Structure 1
Amino acid sequence: MFENFEQQLITIGLNTIKLRKGGAGPPLLLLHGYPQTHVMWYKVAPKLAQHFTLIITDLRGYGDSSKPESDPEHATYSKRAIATEQVKVMETLGFKEFYVAGHDRGARVTHRMALDYPERVKKAALLDIVPTSTMYASTDKEVATAYYHWFFLIQPFDLPETLIGANPEYYLRKKIAQWSRNPNSFSEEALSEYLRCFCQPATIHATCEDYRAAASIDLEHDKQDSYKKIACPLLVLWGNKGFVGKKYDVIAEWRKKAINVQGTGLPSGHFLPEETPEETYQALTKFFL
């Protein structure tokens, strides 16, 4: 995986961010989701690298990036803090303006980044999410059943950490199988990387903190910025066979949060870049070029 990509560790403050860099052209930052790492982009990265300089990172708390100690307000794992860190990574690499595409948790970081750094983000793509505040406000039996992990992972330390830590491989494989519609989309090499990183107790805790932040400080930030809309062009993609595409009018929800929105559903479950790599590549390339 990732032939012709170089690996780097970028130090931002007290933290280190792991990334791969490759390709040529305008800079495009790719952000992953839960419970994965930057490796989730391995199917689309080679083709995207023909058009863009790709920066593919492990988010704070995930993969081989730092997993700093959290705080009672969970601010350490707020999307604002993580978005700021990613902007500083791009600046360190010489990119003051860039494109960004995020999947799942990475898409929530992208949402915050587009609000907080409109002068940096030229275009943004969000894969298989609706806004965090929308998800919580619309919670019903259907949402709670499909997204039970949103309510499990936010329980106080150390309940979810202990239960997941008892068999993290089972948990990760179960989540991927539940959220995808074609489990054969995931190579054993990629799954091995997800397992290597996720099975670490520090990762399990940090990723719980990510969700705890989403249910607390992130909602406060969203409330404070409820009058703001994403200014840059926004692409939203979702899996037609997944929960988000079936439950929500994705474009309509994002038009409440952004000025210029376009998008489409793809024939997949939650993991678009791995389940429908060609369609994801085509959609991202058409939008960003």
Structure 2
Amino acid sequence: MSAPFFPGFAVHRVELGDAKIHAEVGGSGPPVLLLHGYPQTHVAWHRLAPLLARHFTVVAPDLRGYGDSTGPGGDPLHLHHCKRTLAGDQIGLMRALGFERFAVVGHDRGARVGYRLCLDRPQAVSAFASLTVVPTEVMWQRAGMAFGLKAFHWYLFAQPFDLPERMLRADPAYFLDWSLRNAVQKFDAVTPEALAEYHRAFARESVRHAMVEDYRAAATIDLQHDREDFAGGRRIACPLQVLWCASNNASPDPVEIWSAWADRVEGAAIDCGHLMAEEAPDEVLARLLPFLQRHA
């Protein structure tokens, strides 16, 4: 599986208590952790990881329960899949690989894990790049009709067990294809090879359940953690880069939004759909590489 996506990378399987994290590691230099989003796996970084590995040691894991990483089933409070728990996985993974401090690049769900890492373990994160994400608390505050129609899965997946799981079980391949088409502007942004990997993972009921639990956490315990941090004045101390889709022209822009949560924020819009690392890798790299070289 690794060869066509991450040439020269080594595959690692790290056991961390109740989870086993699959990760691919390659390159040399300062460590950079790449965290993917829904409904993808670490393969989402296949256009960027080999290029970043020319300058950095790149670590690309599957989040707990996604792809080839495993974890427990859901629990009533969704603690097993909250961003604090997923962030703890990444601390354990990076320590197992010998890294105490590292940069983080996150997209979608991975960016939510990334900013939780920054808030919970500030000593571990040298720099953070967030692709297509604003804080979960802000997202829910700003969600309206347009968001609900486009990103309806936020509401569907937040429903109690096991309604979403049963609905996804009816035709998972169709649902995945529809979701990916809905997330891009360029129809061929996801290569056939990457698509096959996403289908391989999404076909497993345990993976779909983990994804749903991730979203249940976002509507409950993640919100609680965000609100506690914001009320307590806890902020992201490391440099933060925000990249967002140019079609998202809402005001205020993400740099202004994140400035309420972080001390040093920069960012830019990129003309692409939601799957930024696959749809516009050159544009993302042109912004991301100088940022990481300054701060990683």
Q: How many residues align?
A: 286
Find 1:270's aligned residue among 269, 274, 277: 274
1:230 is matched with which residue? 236
Secondary structure of 2:122's counterpart equals coil
- Normalised to the residue count of structure 1, the TM-score between the two structures is 0.97
| Deviation of the 1:14 alpha carbon | 2.6
Secondary structure of 1:119's counterpart equals helix
User: For residues 21-49 of structure 1, what are the alpha-carbon distances to aligned partners after superposition, in whole Å with 9 as ceiling and x for unaligned?
Assistant: 00011000000000000000001111100
User: For residues 255-282 of structure 1, what are the alpha-carbon distances to aligned partners after superposition, in whole Å with 9 as ceiling and x for unaligned?
Assistant: 1111100000111010111100111112
Matches within 5 A, 1:147-158: 147-158=151-162
Find 1:94's aligned residue among 98, 103, 108: 98
**Does structure 2 retain, via aligned residues, the 8 Å contact 1:67–1:203?**
no
**Does structure 1 retain, via aligned residues, the 8 Å contact 2:18–2:71?**
no
* Percent identity (aligned): 44
Structure 2, unpaired ranges of 5+ = none
Distance 1:247 1:169, change over 3 A: farther
Find 1:247's aligned residue among 250, 261, 266: 250
**Does structure 1 retain, via aligned residues, the 8 Å contact 2:73–2:209?**
no
Runs of 4+ in 1 over 2 A off after TM superposition: 245-248
User: For residues 86-117 of structure 1, what are the alpha-carbon distances to aligned partners after superposition, in whole Å with 9 as ceiling and x for unaligned?
Assistant: 01110111100000000000000001000001
Equivalent position amino acid for 1:236 in 2: V
1:22 is matched with which residue? 26
| Deviation of the 1:246 alpha carbon | 2.8
1:60 is matched with which residue? 64
Return the alpha-carbon distance in structure 1 between the equivalents of residues 53 and 271 of structure 2.
24
| Deviation of the 1:85 alpha carbon | 0.9
User: For residues 160-185 of structure 1, what are the alpha-carbon distances to aligned partners after superposition, in whole Å with 9 as ceiling and x for unaligned?
Assistant: 11111111111111111111101211
2:73 paired with 1:81: no
Matches within 5 A, 1:132-147: 132-147=136-151
Matches within 5 A, 1:1-289: 1-226=5-230, 227-241=233-247, 245-248=248-251, 249-289=253-293
**Does structure 2 retain, via aligned residues, the 8 Å contact 1:18–1:57?**
yes
